[in-house]
Structure 1
């Protein structure tokens, strides 16, 4: 939607690096190709809003953020510091949020892409290490929300947060399908296959919940404070995003319970199969012990054993062992041991 514009890059721009800016003025509308060198002029005009998006930020970008937007130097450290979970913090002149866009890789693993957000009274800055195609959708939504629905920087901020949260729903749907497939494999499994899927699902759900719950807490903190960038009339829209996050957390907790139940079912199935194996081994051992008892008795080296002189004693012993083995086999089969 937007093209790369003027920027202050290092001598050798990193692969995949991109800096783009867009501005909006109530009278002129959107300017989709705002050079970075014109940001100060745009901000000097009353009523102008500026959104700067940076992919793979470099040291020169830190100077740009400090000089053009007046962002505190401690807040700038948020760009270079990885965040284990989402957060929201207030600095002089801007609120800083660490949020995540979620997706599913081709391998089936959850893909979490961090984006740092600076929200001031008339500017919005997003910085992320990896490409974030969702930014184009955010800008499209900003255009839809800028026509009087939301005031000030709340329009692009709401568009951004709403888009990032919406990326979680397809991920949850994919995990739900994987849980159903894992349950079906568990019930029909042979030799314990399917168990690794359960543990991977539980790990993915834990990672996703850590992100979604952190975003819920960060947005709740933003809503509960008297934030200049969110006018009271716009708070309802951010409350809607918060409600989506609450629903996502509840859904993830439900699926985590389903995974726990699936693990219990897996352990029960494995235990039942082990019990059946032990029953079979017990039956076989009992049969062999019974026949071994007879052969052991007649294998003793005593001089006087009356049965040893019987003409058909050998065949009688074999017949007795066969009779006992068949009787025990029929008994164990009746009680479902074999």
Structure 2
């Protein structure tokens, strides 16, 4: 657990957690904690027991905001996104927003928290609600970056399928499509959360600052629409894969059919000269076997040439 006094974007480490209970002269306290620290934080800041239970739960939490006016804080859950090794990961970012403090609770490392520090310094942030605004803005913007990587992956898959279709492509399509559909279920509640931060009467968030959440909400809507497009693209990609497989099967069947057609007259000739008759034209001719083999080769290559010229092979 790290405790910092943030004033004008400048961080000052604090050793005593009891100091953060009382409002500072200037600035606010940012407490960056993990779930194990909640046992210490809950009694000190009167964190609502249901909110703490949500942080400790192993089940996936939907993005939401809970107003605990009696305890003097809001509880907010928002999902950070990562795209590693062709898989989408969502990591819950639990936030307790108070009058003079903000507590972030995570189970894994959240990149947005590290990226936030230079922004706080540049914007000279001294209030916890502004901290919340910049943090949510970073989380939502990161969805665009992940979306760009997913789009690049879809384009790469499409090119691979058109050039050389493999069975592994179908597994990739199914896996990526299922993750996009799963992500779509999260984007709806997250969009609703940001809408509440924008429109709901929240006394811990400055009214003027609250208007800025409308820009984040617009981005959240764009993200939802973008992933709708990705879902449709994955459906088109699956159809392209099936079409490519069918075309490839047709190509193979065309080759087999052409080869069978070439060998049909050759088989007919060998069948005639393989019959047990004493007299067959040319059977006892001197050099007749060479003549027959030459004719068969000429016939086979001639048919092969005609098929290639007509683009049947």
Structure 2 length-normalised TM: 0.79
Question: Which stretch shows the higher mean deviation, 233-242 or 29-38?
Answer: 29-38
Partners of 1:38 and 1:251 in 2: how far apart?
45
Partners of 2:19 and 2:246 in 1: how far apart?
70
By how many angstroms is 1:135 displaced?
2.2
By how many angstroms is 1:127 displaced?
0.2
Partners of 2:282 and 2:55 in 1: how far apart?
94
SS state at 2:247 partner: helix
Match of 2:66 in 1: 90
Unaligned runs of 5+ in 1: 1-17
Question: Which stretch shows the higher mean deviation, 323-332 or 233-242?
Answer: 323-332
Match of 1:99 in 2: 78
SS state at 1:179 partner: helix
**1:129-165 deviation line (CA, Å, top 9, x unaligned):** 1233432443554452646xxxx64322212211222
Partners of 2:161 and 2:275 in 1: how far apart?
52
SS state at 2:245 partner: helix
SS state at 1:96 partner: strand
Match of 2:52 among 57, 76, 79: 76
Match of 1:311 in 2: 285
Match of 2:270 in 1: 295
Is 2:313 aligned against 1:334?
Answer: no
8 A Cα contact 1:23 1:42, kept in partner = no
Match of 2:109 in 1: 131
Partners of 1:109 and 1:209 in 2: how far apart?
15
Match of 1:216 in 2: 191
Of the two structures, which has the highest relative contact order with CA contacts closer than 8 Å and spacing of 6 or more?
2
> Which aligned pairs between 1:157-172 and structure 2 lie closer than 5 A?
157-172=132-147
Is 2:15 aligned against 1:32?
Answer: no
Partners of 2:58 and 2:214 in 1: how far apart?
27
Partners of 2:31 and 2:66 in 1: how far apart?
19
Structure 1 length-normalised TM: 0.74
CA 283–39 in structure 1, closer or farther in 2 if over 3 Å, else same: same
CA 139–193 in structure 1, closer or farther in 2 if over 3 Å, else same: closer
**1:177-212 deviation line (CA, Å, top 9, x unaligned):** 333333333333376676665455445544554444
By how many angstroms is 1:49 displaced?
4.2
By how many angstroms is 1:36 displaced?
0.9
**1:29-82 deviation line (CA, Å, top 9, x unaligned):** 977333311122238x8x97443220x321xx3343332222221111111114
Unaligned runs of 5+ in 2: none
Is 2:9 aligned against 1:67?
Answer: no
SS state at 1:185 partner: helix
By how many angstroms is 1:247 displaced?
1.6
Question: Which stretch shows the higher mean deviation, 176-185 or 232-241?
Answer: 176-185
Partners of 1:79 and 1:309 in 2: how far apart?
93
Is 2:217 aligned against 1:234?
Answer: no
SS state at 1:42 partner: coil
SS state at 1:112 partner: strand
